Amino acid sequence: MSKRSVADLKIGEQATIQSFSDQLMSLKLLEMGCLPGAQICLTAKAPLGDPICLKVAGYCLAMRKSEAATILINS
């Protein structure tokens, strides 16, 4: 079974970041505070379900679903 990612979260669901599946994307995400071990929560989705809004490191971060899919989580 493939690993779950942030893109699979439902609204209000919380998870812990485990690792990244894309190195270049991970550089941007790390800088924005998406660290392995950090709590991440899906707070809202744009109409059409993409991009999504996440609560991480105490603030709100928006990203595309494809980008969220590179953040793997503990389920």
Partner 1 sequence: MLKSSPTIALVGNPNAGKSSLFNELTGLRQKTGNFPGVTVDKKSGPWSIDSQTIATVVDLPGIYSIYPKSLDEQIVTDILANPAHPDYPDVAVVVVDASNLHRNLLLFTQIADLGVPVVLALNMLDVAHEEGKDVNAVRLAMLLNVPVVRINARKGDGLDHLKKAVIDQIEKPSVSGKLFFDPALEVADLITETKTQYQLDNNYLALQYVIQHDGFTFLNRQQQVGLDAIIDKHHFSEPTFQAGETISRYKHIGTIVDAVVTDRRPSGQTTWSQKLDRVLLHPVWGYAIFLFVLLLIFQAIFAWAQPFMDGIDSGVAWLNGQLKESLPAGPLTDLLTDGILAGIGGILVFIPQIAFLFLLVSLLEESGYMSRVMVIMDRIMRKFGLNGRSVVPLISGVACAVPAIMATRSIGTRRDRLITILVTPLMSCSARLPIYTILIALVVPSQRVLGFFNLQGLALMVLYLLGLISALLAAYVLKLFLHSKERSFFIMELPTFKLPRWNHVGLTVWESVRAFVWEAGRVILAISIVLWVLASYGPGDAMDQAETRVRQQNATLPAQDLQNRIASERLESSYAGQFGHFIEPVIRPLGYDWKIGIALLSSFAAREVFVGTMSTIYSIGDGADDEGVTIRDRLRQERNPNTGGPMYTPALAWSLLIFYVFAMMCMSTLAATQRETKSWKWPALQLVYMMGLAYVAAFATYQFLK
List residues binding partner 1 (CB under 8 A): 23-33, 35-36, 43-48, 50-51, 53, 55, 57-64, 67
Q: How far is the CB of 1 from partner 1 (least distance, A)?
A: 26
Nearer to partner 1, 4 or 55 (CB): 55
Nearer to partner 1, 8 or 22 (CB): 22
CA-based max dimension of the chain: 31
